[in-house]
Copies of this chain bind each other. A is one copy, B any other.
Amino acid sequence: MTLDALPPHQGGAEQLARLLAQALLAGHWQPGDVFPRELDIGKHFAVSRNQVRNALTSLTAAGLLERTAGRGTLVREVGDWHLLDPLMSEWMTGLVNLDPQLVRAIYAFRFSAEPVVAGLAAQAAQAEDIERLESAYAGMESSAGSVEARAEHAEYDVAFHDATYRASHNLVWRQMGHLLRPSIMALIHRSQHRTDTLDDSLARHRQVLDAIRSHDASAAETAAREVLRRTAIDLGIVS
């Protein structure tokens, strides 16, 4: 794989890192492949070697690449990727065609984890957590009508689930909220977001909100599971 297929870039090392990371996430290189050399990348994108090194440092920290002096830069396999690195979430979010394997893995994780998180949230939620949830839910409701507001709707969706993780009041679970963004953003590209499915999704989110508000842990678990069943349909994982 060469760099020729990649679009030009504009901006600093962060932009370059995103560009290269998304190419890797999209599968332009196979695990074990040698990645282009620093100087070639710099020449191709007309940036200094410094910028290239900064970008590659990020990709290495995210577990996408493995660099060795003398040998060069190798592409690591999917199992080594740091899917929980916030940078990864950011890169995945902007990717239109995320690898279905990844979408499914993240969904399977959420399906097993999010009910537990919702249960914890029901136990630990404070007033401000409830407020965040209500505010996010209100946003989802107000943007559910129009098709053109689907991006806005997705943002409120992310905010709702993130608020759930935060309400668990556990530092580790909270960090995991980053994973939600790419997962929910994939919904935009994979589903038609028809009005009736949106209404159904909204109703299921409301169940979660109500359960957490009334501190009913088992109800929150059940409701979260129902939300994710809806999500699975919209993602095309099940019919």
Contacts and interface: CB of A to CB of B under 8 A. Distances in A.
A170 B105 CA distance: 6
Interface in A69-109: 78-79, 81-87, 102, 105-106, 108-109
Contacts of A172: 83-84, 105-106, 108-109, 179
Interface in A100-122: 102, 105-106, 108-109, 112-113, 116-117, 120
A120 B112 contact: yes
A238 interface: no
Given A57-B57, A170-B105, A170-B109, A175 B83 contact: yes
Interface string A51-65: 000000110010100
Interface of A: 57-58, 61, 63, 78-79, 81-87, 102, 105-106, 108-109, 112-113, 116-117, 120, 170-176, 179
A226 to B, nearest CB: 17
Q: What 6 A-B pairs come out closest when comparing CB atoms?
A: A109-B172, A84-B84, A105-B171, A112-B116, A61-B61, A84-B175
Contacts of A61: 58, 61, 87
A173 B58 contact: no
B82 A175 contact: yes
A173 B106 CA distance: 9
Contacts of A78: 171
Contacts of A87: 61
Nearest to A88: B175
Contacts of A79: 171, 174
A166 to B, nearest CB: 9
A6 B83 CA distance: 33
Given A57-B57, A61-B58, A61-B61, A171 B83 contact: yes
Contacts of A86: 63, 82
A109 B179 CA distance: 17
A11 B106 CA distance: 38
A82 B90 CA distance: 14
Contacts of A108: 170, 172
Contacts of A63: 86
A86 B109 CA distance: 19
